Structure 1
Amino acid sequence: MRFNLSHLIPAELKERNMGLQTRRTHFTLEGHKFIIFGGSIHYFRVPRAYWKDRMLKLKACGFNTLTTYVPWNLHEPERGKFDFSGNLDLEAFIWMAAELGLWVILRPGPYICAEIDLGGLPSWLIQDPNLKLRTTSKGFVDAVDHYFDYLIPKVIPLQYHSGGPIIAVQVENEYGSYNKDKNYMPYIHKALLQRGIVEFLVTSDNEKDVTKGHIKEVFATINTDTLSKKVFSQLKKVQNKKPILIMEFWVGWFDTWGSKHFAKDVKDVEDTVLKLIKAEISFNMYMFHGGTNFGFMNGATHFKNYRSVVTSYDYDAVLTEAGDYTEKYFRLRKLFGSFLATALPPLPDLVPKAVYPAVRMSLFLPLWDVLKYLDEPVKSDTPINMENLPINHGNGQSYGFVLYETSICSGGKLHLHVQDLAQVFLNEKVIGVLSNGFQKLNIPRFQGCQLLRILVENQGRVNYSWKIQEQQKGLSKDIFINNITLKGFTIYALEMKTNFFKRLRSANWRPTPMNYSGPAFYLGTLRAGPSPKDTFLRLQKWMNGFVFINGHNLGRYCYTGPQKTLYLPGTWLHPKDNEIILFEKIMSGSYIQSTDKPCLQNSLSTRLLNS
Structure 2
Amino acid sequence: MWAFLGRSECILCLSSALCAMALLSNDQLPRLNQTHLTPLLLKIRKVGLEVNGSQFTLEGFPFRIISGTIDYFRIPRNSWRLSLSKMQACGFNTLTTHVPWNLHEPAVGQFYFIENVDLLAFISMASEMGLWVILCPGPYIGSDLDLGGLPSWLLKDPKMKLRTTYKGFTKAMNRYFDYLIPRIAKFQYKKGGPIIAVQVENEYGSYYMDKKYMAYVKKALVSRGINELLMTADDGANLKKGHLENVLVTLHMKNIKKETYEDLRSIQGRSPILMMVYTANSFDTWGALHQVGDPQILMKNVREIFNLGFSLNFYMFQGGTNFGLIGGSESSEGHTPVVTSYDYSGLVSEGGGYTPEYQEFQHFFHSVIDFQLSVQPKATLMFAYQPVMLLHFMTLWEVLPYLVKTTKSSKPLSMEQLPVNEGNGQAFGYIIYETKIFHGGLLSSRGHIHDRGQVFLDNNSVGLLDESNNELLLFKDLSKKTQILRILVENQGRLTSGQDINKERKGLTGDIYLDKSPLRLFKIYSLEMKKYFIQREFPKFWKTVTSPVQGPAFFLSHFKAGDPPKDTFIKIQGWGKGVISINGRSLGRYWNIGPQDTIYVPGSWLHPGVNQIIMFEELRGGVQIHFTNKAHLGH
Please report the TM-score for the alignment, with normalisation by the length of structure 1: 0.95
Deviation of residue 117 (structure 1)?
A: 0.6
Instruction: Report the residue type matching 1:517 in the other structure.
Output: Q
Matches within 5 A, 1:498-517: 498-517=531-550
Partner of 2:101: 72
SS at match of 1:158: coil
Given that 1:377 and 1:491 are in contact with CA atoms closer than 8 Å, whether structure 2 keeps it comes out as yes
Given that 2:235 and 2:254 are in contact with CA atoms closer than 8 Å, whether structure 1 keeps it comes out as no
For residues 402-444 of structure 1, what are the alpha-carbon distances to aligned partners after superposition, in whole Å with 9 as ceiling and x for unaligned? 0010011100011122000000000110101111278111111
Partner of 2:51: 22
SS at match of 1:8: coil
Partner of 1:548: 581
Distance 2:508 2:453 in 1: 9
For residues 32-68 of structure 1, what are the alpha-carbon distances to aligned partners after superposition, in whole Å with 9 as ceiling and x for unaligned? 0000000000000000000011111101110000000
Given that 1:411 and 1:445 are in contact with CA atoms closer than 8 Å, whether structure 2 keeps it comes out as yes
Out of 515, 527, 544, the residue aligned to residue 560 of structure 2 is 527
Deviation of residue 275 (structure 1)?
A: 1.4
The answer to whether 1:203 aligns with 2:235 is no
Distance 1:126 1:213 in 2: 24
Please report the TM-score for the alignment, with normalisation by the length of structure 2: 0.91
Deviates more, 1:537-546 or 1:365-374: 365-374
Distance 1:430 1:5 in 2: 61
Given that 1:420 and 1:436 are in contact with CA atoms closer than 8 Å, whether structure 2 keeps it comes out as yes
Partner of 2:138: 109
For residues 102-155 of structure 1, what are the alpha-carbon distances to aligned partners after superposition, in whole Å with 9 as ceiling and x for unaligned? 000000000000001100000000111211000100000111001000000111
Given that 1:222 and 1:235 are in contact with CA atoms closer than 8 Å, whether structure 2 keeps it comes out as no
Distance 1:407 1:227 in 2: 56
SS at match of 1:399: coil
For residues 507-528 of structure 1, what are the alpha-carbon distances to aligned partners after superposition, in whole Å with 9 as ceiling and x for unaligned? 3211225222220000111222
Distance 1:421 1:342 in 2: 52
Matches within 5 A, 1:21-40: 21-40=50-69
Deviation of residue 599 (structure 1)?
A: 0.3
Partner of 1:379: 408
SS at match of 1:273: helix
Instruction: Report the residue type matching 2:99 in the other structure.
Output: V
Distance 2:532 2:390 in 1: 22
Distance 1:526 1:539 in 2: 16
Kindly tell me: are residues 5 and 352 of structure 1, through their superposed partners in 2, closer, same or farther at Cα, counting changes over 3 Å?
A: closer
The answer to whether 1:397 aligns with 2:426 is yes
Matches within 5 A, 1:321-336: 321-336=350-365
For residues 173-198 of structure 1, what are the alpha-carbon distances to aligned partners after superposition, in whole Å with 9 as ceiling and x for unaligned? 00000010000000001110110100
Partner of 1:414: 443
Out of 514, 529, 532, the residue aligned to residue 496 of structure 1 is 529
Partner of 1:441: 472
Partner of 1:591: 624
Deviation of residue 352 (structure 1)?
A: 1.6
Q: For the aligned residues, what is the CA RMSD?
A: 1.6
Kindly tell me: are residues 153 and 278 of structure 1, through their superposed partners in 2, closer, same or farther at Cα, counting changes over 3 Å?
A: same
Partner of 1:605: none
Given that 1:43 and 1:51 are in contact with CA atoms closer than 8 Å, whether structure 2 keeps it comes out as yes
Deviation of residue 251 (structure 1)?
A: 1.7
Instruction: Report the residue type matching 2:574 in the other structure.
Output: K
Out of 607, 610, 613, the residue aligned to residue 580 of structure 1 is 613
Instruction: Report the residue type matching 1:69 in the other structure.
Output: H
Deviation of residue 228 (structure 1)?
A: 6.0
The answer to whether 1:306 aligns with 2:335 is yes
Distance 2:205 2:540 in 1: 52
Partner of 2:263: 234
Partner of 1:144: 173
Deviates more, 1:553-562 or 1:296-305: 296-305
SS at match of 2:186: helix
Partner of 2:243: 214
Instruction: Report the residue type matching 2:459 in the other structure.
Output: E
Out of 487, 491, 516, the residue aligned to residue 483 of structure 1 is 516
Distance 1:55 1:303 in 2: 34
For residues 281-315 of structure 1, what are the alpha-carbon distances to aligned partners after superposition, in whole Å with 9 as ceiling and x for unaligned? 11100111100000011010012221000000000
Given that 1:247 and 1:283 are in contact with CA atoms closer than 8 Å, whether structure 2 keeps it comes out as yes
Distance 1:589 1:6 in 2: 55
Instruction: Report the residue type matching 2:169 in the other structure.
Output: F
Kindly tell me: are residues 329 and 542 of structure 1, through their superposed partners in 2, closer, same or farther at Cα, counting changes over 3 Å?
A: same
Instruction: Report the residue type matching 1:494 in the other structure.
Output: L
SS at match of 1:73: helix
Q: How many residues align?
A: 594
SS at match of 2:290: coil
Kindly tell me: are residues 481 and 183 of structure 1, through their superposed partners in 2, closer, same or farther at Cα, counting changes over 3 Å?
A: same
Given that 1:207 and 1:235 are in contact with CA atoms closer than 8 Å, whether structure 2 keeps it comes out as no
Distance 2:359 2:528 in 1: 42
Partner of 1:171: 200
Distance 1:118 1:493 in 2: 20
SS at match of 1:232: helix
Q: Which runs of 5 or more residues in structure 2 are unaligned?
A: 1-37
The answer to whether 1:158 aligns with 2:187 is yes
Instruction: Report the residue type matching 2:460 in the other structure.
Output: K
Partner of 2:43: 8
Q: Which runs of 5 or more residues in structure 1 are unaligned?
A: 603-611
SS at match of 1:600: coil
Partner of 1:608: none
Distance 1:348 1:321 in 2: 16
The answer to whether 1:557 aligns with 2:590 is yes
Percent of aligned pairs sharing the same letter = 47
Deviation of residue 360 (structure 1)?
A: 2.8
Distance 2:318 2:305 in 1: 20
Deviates more, 1:280-289 or 1:353-362: 353-362
SS at match of 2:615: strand
Given that 1:414 and 1:443 are in contact with CA atoms closer than 8 Å, whether structure 2 keeps it comes out as yes
Instruction: Report the residue type matching 1:315 in the other structure.
Output: Y
Distance 2:255 2:172 in 1: 37
